[in-house]
Structure 1
Amino acid sequence: MTPAVTAVSSNAVYSFAKPNRPSVTLLEGLGVEGDIHAGVTVKHRSRVARDPSQPNLRQVHLIPEELFAELGGRGYQVEPGNLGENVTTRGIDLYALPTGTLLRLGAEAVVEVTGLRNPCAQINGLGDGLMKQLVERAADGTVVRRGGIMGVVRTGGVVRPGDTIGVELPEGPHVPLAPV
């Protein structure tokens, strides 16, 4: 299966969910045009409160569609945009990508993967216990986060559902994703 975009979402106001759109425009160095989280510096409220001058490593939030099917099997109804993501994907194991991977979305846009999204308690607003489904402990005791991945826009462009996703791994030793 060729990796593809299944949905794109954005929101100009602070809200946990983001409405689906026919397309979004990624702006180099900023994020999703018109999205509340776009910018050179951090836009997430908790991070702004700590240090508003931090670089925004969370310009674009991507999440795999396969997660929604898994959660559905556990009794949770989650659809694209519900978890605040900008790009919903299919056919790619986002969590296995190393830091620095380049994702080519459609004909032009390129997003560099910066790390994992650290899910917050607001997720439980979609269903009691949903947060525990997205942050679990592996058999060895390590924390496994499945709230999606984050990236920065290296090359702008329009992204639409149905666009293919190309993957370019970084050179050298691969660094596993960590929360950003």
Structure 2
Amino acid sequence: MTWVLVAAGLVIAVIVWAEIVHWRSSRRLTGPDRGGSEAVVVLGYRNPRSDRANALNRWRVRAGLRSIDPTAPCSRLIFCGGPHEAAVMARYATEERGYGGQVIREEESRSTWENIQDVIPYLEDVDRIKIVSNPLHAEKGRLYLWRQRPDLAARLVRSADYRVGEWAPLKPLFAVHGLLDLAKSTKNLAAQA
């Protein structure tokens, strides 16, 4: 009986740790939200050659949609990830989720660095920028924007891609992968400097 309690305690501790990692990551490299026009950049994930967005891309679209401020004078929803990912995410947002606002598909990028690089022209004229993905991947995107265009990165605000308990069973895996990926990205950026 004691080992069951210990095992349950360890599972709970790992899930709480993952929640904290995601919560903190969702807030890093962002500033205060002062309102105004916005661009919501949704980073895509590899999607098998299917006409339907996979589960992760569907979740990212929903997080992007809930990140839109209904009081914004202008909102621009941008989907990244090459022609296939951008298309299936845009279709999911408009046809299945009923989004009727401005949609832009960035269809050339093949990496997170390129996602950010290729959306810069769509960010120039907005007051605030939200990058949406799972929180650690979105932090990586924000880090890349700070590296590529600090003037635009100063407009970064939090998105709504973190919710307590959402994806809870997978959050520990996402946290480990995301932390390792962020460490690698930070190391690579430092080596380039």
The structure carrying a bigger strand percent of its residues is: 1
The structure carrying a bigger helix percent of its residues is: 2
Common fold by TM > 0.5: no
User: Of the two, which has the highest radius of gyration?
Assistant: 2
- TM-score w.r.t. length of structure 1: 0.26
- TM-score w.r.t. length of structure 2: 0.25
